[in-house]
Structure 1
Amino acid sequence: MKTIRTKICIVIAALCCMVPAMAQKTFGSAKYTAMCSYYGESITGNITAYEAGDTAGKVVKDIMSVIGLKANFELRAANVPNAAAVILKNKRYILYNPKFMDNINSATGNKWAAISILAHEIGHHLNGHTLDNVGSRPQTELEADEFSGFVLRKMGASLADAQSAMSLIAKMKGSHTHPAKNDRLAYIATGWKSAGEYNPDNTDVADNSSPSPVITKQPAVAQRPVAVKQPVVVKTSQPAVKPELTKREKIQQSIMSGRNIASDAHLNSNPNGQYYLTTKGNLVQVTDENVYLIASLERSDRPGYKLMLDDKGSGSDMYIGAGGVLVNGSGKRIGYLRSR
């Protein structure tokens, strides 16, 4: 009897191991695939995807339900660090790591953290961020953050719930792919607030059924004329007040003056972006309203290069070669610096 029970257990264990293998799909190397990933890690090796779990599938259906759109992507569990929006073999996918999702919910103590991450990745597809095969960029990440905040309020989350994942795992300093934590939290808040601006149940309108006000005549009272002294107006010449510059105008004024800029920078991953190397040795990206710190000038840690732009642990260090050429850790040219 014991031998039969043992054989049955072995068969069941074998079947359990076979199910993921039968459902899995390998897309090949991630090295040449541009992904909009939540946390911005470099994804290497083969991408292997599996059927999505029922819970994740229901979350995605709920997200699409509150915005009234059909999904233009497929959801898959995969061997990615957290979650990513990507086009593989001309098909849109949302890939997520089930273990990461469970861990982030446990760390924040609520279910909204994982939901916000899936909403963020869905925002990339719906906003068309994955179509150019460039991958993550600060502005597209902020747009996806705003979408996430909007969706979560529609689903009943508080602002703290909507920001819980970002508050826990985002970096304080921005990079050339992802913005700084404070900016991302601000955009989530913008989306969350905009979801509550329109209220179809709002009854704060004029009510035509209200009775007309009753006008009561007051008794006539003899009034004694009172002499009113006119105030003395003293004319003074006020200096002209110049309108204060907006943040955008200040940023552009600084760029045009060139006082703080040593070189213009061009990155192949975002050819239309505004990048500059400052006189303090900081590589920054300038958008309409913000300046993001991308990397800092340091002595190179690789032979053959004197200087590098250190991204402080995100795996996107850039090395400065002859003539200002920028290369990555594999020696591939990724941009250049041009002195002013």
Structure 2
Amino acid sequence: MRYGPAMTSTYAVLSEGLEKRFGEVHAVRGLDLAVAPGTVCGILGPNGAGKTTAVRLLTTLLRPDAGSARVAGRDLVREPEAVRRAIAVTGQYASVDGDLTGRQNLRLFARLHRVRGPAERAAELLDRFGLTEAADRAVSTYSGGMRRRLDLAASMVRRPGILFLDEPTTGLDPASRNLIWDAVRDLTADGTTVLLTTQYLEEADRLAHDIALVDKGRVAHTGSPAQLKALIGAHVEIVVADADLLVKAAGILDHLTGGQPSFDHDRNAVGAVTRDSTLTLPRLVRELDAAGVPLLDASIRPPTLDDVFLRLTKECAV
């Protein structure tokens, strides 16, 4: 694929048809991805879907067997050094030295990257990531959340335009996770583009502007969290007082939702999925009351990214 200037200037990351094989294993098979600058792109998928291989391709750690990509406006294959200068990668495990203090770690990274004023840059990042009070303690005394924040700070020493985050909050407690989320939001507010792989769907829902659902080595679905949820629809459920009314209730649900009703006879419940955003709980109750169907309970539950993930990956497997 040959990208025109207008196309490449629109995206921080743009790939078409990226492929990678390991012997008989076709890990990535035609990866198409477009990431707008200054946004968070969440990369989701089941184990073995090709997420890690895709990230290793886009960060020049692997050379593609086919396809093309531009990262930060640079050709992935022809200009790998330029790509590396424009990006930073934070893996699942901290890359900082536990025997050094937080300040010493950041100064070391700054010197390695030949950043002007390494001491000043270290102090700036310690403040930005809420680590000033612990700056002169050995990193071995840091909590998991503090180490992850220091790792993020180290990635930002030379102000990369694009940051690849591989499961940045795995194993962290909720408070530490929230601090990392705040740090990511601050980075994108300053114009940094973030590609985020995560096993926490709530994390993708909270942070990502767009999501790429990867399955079997290719991007199966893309869209904002809201757009992907709209593909699934809300789940409507009613519990009736009389089991003999289940079929009648199902007919009303079918009419209101357009979805195929499913029964839970143990609970005298019937449910269906609807993509009609105008269907409200009061309207549902009124319709059932008018039809003479007494209720014990009724609910309309918006879809979550868990629903999206399970439904769409199941469809991909068919």
- Shorter-normalised TM range: under 0.3
Q: TM-score, normalised by structure 1?
A: 0.24
If each structure's helix is expressed as a fraction of its own residues, which one has the higher value? Answer: 2
If each structure's strand is expressed as a fraction of its own residues, which one has the higher value? Answer: 2
Tell which structure's C-alpha radius of gyration is larger.
1
Q: TM-score, normalised by structure 2?
A: 0.25
